[in-house]
Amino acid sequence: MIKAVFFDYDNTLYDFERVRRYGLALALQHLYERLPDTRGRLSIERLAQLREDVAAETDNPDARLTEIRTESFRRALALCGYGPDLAPELARIYSEGRWKIARPYEGALTALRRLHGRYVLGVISNGNTPHDILDLHDYFDYWIFADEVGVAKPDPRIFQLAMERVPCGPREFLFVGDSVEYDVAGAVNAGVRSVWLNSQGKPYPDGAARPDFEIADLAELVEIVERL
């Protein structure tokens, strides 16, 4: 019998990619206004890649996401021949401005409304989306962020921490997420049931750990939980 249902946050409960691109567009526009000769020399895609490059090179487990993002803007400025002074301001504009368009998926609202009060609900996230940004705070009993606990998915310890907080055992715990690499693999590593949210109908990666269930919309989740 399922006692707890935990969710990934970004791209599971809302469209993080849309929000991310909006934030980068705001930062890029501000850069153009402050340093007009940079116009056309950078793009949203280039800024996104610089961030991924910094994250891949970071071997400090305590490095926070804001620090990684700020460093990516320093590199962007350097590519344009400028020093790093504007980087913290660009990171702030990105971080604060992007939430203006953040909205929960309709299927997420449907599922949370029907599960709330019947099961312990929680979030396990490798991101840094604020707790209250989507007006979903009242639905959840627990919020676990990798930045705060010092361990990230797919490490099974972050799932074990969630089970300790409930408390419950692996067979009473269900995890829902969109990432095969982090969400499904992490749940499998921890020995808990998993639901893969595949809203785009992607083929499943060869050789990857398999989820227990696959859904296209979070509204489908309620039937699975009740069946278990």
Share of the chain above pLDDT 90, in %: 86
Residues 39, 26: Cα–Cα separation, whole Å: 13
Residues 6+ apart with CB under 8 A from 132: none
Averaged pLDDT score across all residues of the chain = 94
**Number of other residues whose CB lies within 10 A of the CB of residue 153:** 26
The reported pTM is 0.89
H runs (alpha helix) in 59-155: 65-79, 87-97, 106-115, 146-149
Q: Is the pLDDT of residue 62 over 90?
A: no
Nearest to 146 by CA among 114, 113, 174, 186: 186
What confidence tens digit (pLDDT) does each residue in 97-135 have? 999 999 999 999 999 999 999 999 999 999 888 888 898
**pLDDT tens-digit map of 130-174:** 888 898 989 999 999 998 898 999 999 999 999 999 999 999 999
Q: Is the pLDDT of residue 28 over 60?
A: yes
Boundaries of every domain in the chain: 4-15+102-227, 16-100
Burial 82-104, CB ≥16 within 10 A → b, else e: beeebbeebbbbbbebbeeebeb
Strands 4-7 and 213-215: unpaired
Alpha carbon distance 130, 19 (integer Å) = 13
Return the SS3 of 145. strand
C-alpha–C-alpha distance, residues 67 and 177, integer Å: 25
Judge: domain 4-15+102-227, CATH 3.40.1380.20.
no
Tell me the average pLDDT across 163-186. 97
